[in-house]
Structure 1
């Protein structure tokens, strides 16, 4: 068994587990007892892969970006998760989880969202499967991601504002958990990242593993070998990174590079670089690394990108960080914005702000001309146009 996969007790090294209120124990136990049987069944695989192909539009291309490659002096491939239906990797997970929820007989779906991409992907599959959908979203994120809020409402979801704390992703997750405690019987909590109590981190990672499964055969097709020298992905909770890393976890010659949001700078107090600032603690049902003060109170994260504005990382990533298997870097708001404009100008692809953090560290790596680098382009930039326009106007003043 891989030392980087979850063990039979729901842990990655010392991280993971299920730290939950007693009222939620039956729900989480039901999921733990059934998720692998469901995922591994022929019926699930047949429907899941059919929907990924015909509805989501997979496989997504693995694109050798010629101008980016020339600039950085290496072979840089972009895994184009931005071309999925709904515009990000999130739908790989929601398609899988909605099939699991249906199999468990759940009629009411709740979700949390930061950038809104998971909320849109959840509302999309709920519309497809004709299930009730309630999405919790921080009041701050509702304002800065208004196109996605409009999409969710158009898809029939109820969007509930989280008005406590920093009014961002952490607070939306808190509200979703409160709702789940109040409606445990009929509700399925469709978590959007590799966070939460076991088995969620493992389940989400397995559903996102389609990303690295495709990278392997696509690289083989294009270069003659399955393994790149490095895979780069942004990390908030970390589901796109978990998916991009999944089938390479034990190939230790492949460097796994996770890029967190440094915000205004790691030491400014306005950051979400969890691995640099965090300590071991418990958040949203699992033991992981999270940002907290000397009294163990969670400190507010900050990032210009709503999807990375989270004070913890998933336990799979906490273990990759602690074990040294993953290399954790970070990029500031400004670096991410510059990288977004660079990709747009060089390749004609407008990335999401989250993905731009992954692109931003290309210039910080010691790349050689024969290196094969895969950057997981986890989402497209439609939702961030207002931020980009403001940046452009400021830049041109």
Structure 2
């Protein structure tokens, strides 16, 4: 090629590209114009799908409490965000420290919501007309927040926690639900057993991942106000403290543990019930479920308030999210068997959860003991009572 030819080569290339673009524009724009009427419908469809996914994710936030409504999940999230925002303020109304007083609530929430989105993308196909609900919520209340609490802030931790929750816990819970249904064992037992097993496996994997570094004192229970000064005599909890603790226990499962979050959760669920006025299925049992949970939570705090004072933290919340609602569903809210199950759950589940949590290895979060106790108690107490009906 001569120097003269080489000088015109770039010009020819530019001309060729311009020609292709010109032809493409001339041919494509009229076609796009003819299809213009379809664009709004496509946009509306995409917007509807996005709104449906958002509503499903928000509902999943409240599923651990058997509520499953977007308003409950949204208001719980708002209450927890408020508690996190005021955690460093010297005010008496900020309530119990959110996210175990770790300062990691924002990372926990972000990782948990990401885990829910991944769960819907990966396992949403398991929902159908015959099976409209699946336990996709488990990623939000188990492995994901626990990994963040153990390994701290940062996107590497948050993404790892989300992938573990969506990739291990969600499919295990779905499988457990299908396996236990023919055995007439409450689904809660399967979900919580899946949480316990996959959490243990996840923490074994986490200790081998080079980008994760265990936080100092991550395994320790945070001391409460009554346990912070070992030299001072323990003070009895007041009635106000106990009521606050009951409200906070409603959000202990997702590691929030704060009254503002609990109030938002319950208010949102009540609002949804009054708005929709369901007459059949699980939503119609909401008043009985909430009543059983309030009874279980109040009795549990009263019975185990001394352990709260001694240890600074105690899993008094366990029967609220396991035996109590499972009994309402299993016995169709019949007062006598439901009441017996609530009492047995209060007396057995919290000490069992605490004992199991004491025996997990240092690199495993002690919530494994809580979900393990939920699985054991729900799988034994509710079916045992059912034998006498």
- Give TM-score scaled by structure 2 length: 0.29
